Structure 1
Amino acid sequence: MTIKERVVHIATHKGLGKVSFFSALGLSYANFKGPQKLSALSAETLVRILRQYPEISPVWLLMGEGAMLREEQQLNEQSVALAAEETQQHLIQAQDKTIRSLERQIEFLEREIQFLRQP
């Protein structure tokens, strides 16, 4: 399947009429049928398609590999992993702040003990 055939497949999958699908993208359906379907698409057109349909896998669209739709679970797992990493960084910063505060308290108490031990 060519890139253009995959683009037509997106329209079919979405249940959209091909003419209106391509018109919404600023394209002509005539470029996606007959001998024209063998011609290349510009990078700008590919970006426009992926922006309009972010659920479409760029790997599938460009190379025909994998699933057409990005896996929602994979996207969610990436979001969760990023959130967990941010949370972990905040915890580490809070723990560092607590440690520095406790170190200052210990230094203060040690000085106070030394002062109290003086004759």
Structure 2
Amino acid sequence: MQSSMQNISPIKQRILQFVANLGISKREFYSLTGISRGTLESKTGITEDTLTKLFTTYPNLSPIWIFTGKGEKFQSQQDEIPTYFAPEQNIEDKLLCIIAKKDSEIRELAEEVGKLKQEILQLKNSI
């Protein structure tokens, strides 16, 4: 079995390791994620769709660990990718959604900074 593991990508190997650590069968994993059966054992590359299904099902799984094998398997709450998008959205739509939300937060913070600067000026002038 070790030689068959060497024939698949390191990313797939880490996903299979994650599945083994979950204590569920590959069949159950495929069912839970909607990933096609046998995908992780094939010698072909891994698709964006497969990764999207993986991270949608397990949002606290660390992409850095999956892609590089470095760091922790699970993200901290602060690093967690938001799950306010629909599972059927592709990765580009999800990223655009995240960017739009961050842009909105930046605008709100910029307005607050502007108000605080005005308040500081008023306080300085009243001294």
Give the TM-score normalised by the residue count of structure 1: 0.56
Aligned mate of 1:13, from 21, 26, 36 = 21
Instruction: Give how far 1:58 is off.
Output: 0.8
Q: Which residue of 1 aligns with 2:5?
A: none
Q: What is the alpha-carbon distance in structure 2 between the residues aligned to residue 45 and residue 95 of structure 1?
A: 48
Q: Which structure carries more helix by proportion?
A: 1
Q: What is the alpha-carbon distance in structure 1 between the residues aligned to residue 23 and residue 13 of structure 2?
A: 15
Equivalent residue of 1:47, what SS?
Answer: helix
> Can you give the 5+ residue segments of structure 1 that lack an aligned partner in the other structure?
77-85, 107-119
Asked if residue 47 in structure 1 is aligned to residue 52 in structure 2, the reply is yes
Equivalent residue of 1:59, what SS?
Answer: helix
> Can you give the 5+ residue segments of structure 2 that lack an aligned partner in the other structure?
1-8, 81-107
Q: Residues 1-119 of structure 1: matches in 2 within 5 Å?
A: 2-33=10-41, 36=42, 38-70=43-75, 72=76, 75=79, 90=112, 93-94=115-116, 96-97=118-119, 99-100=121-122, 103=125
Aligned length: 91
Instruction: Give how far 1:65 is off.
Output: 2.3
Instruction: Give how far 1:91 is off.
Output: 7.2
Instruction: Give how far 1:48 is off.
Output: 1.7
Please give the per-residue CA displacement for 1:12-31, whole angstroms capped at 9, x wherever unaligned. Answer: 22222220111222223423
Give the TM-score normalised by the residue count of structure 2: 0.53
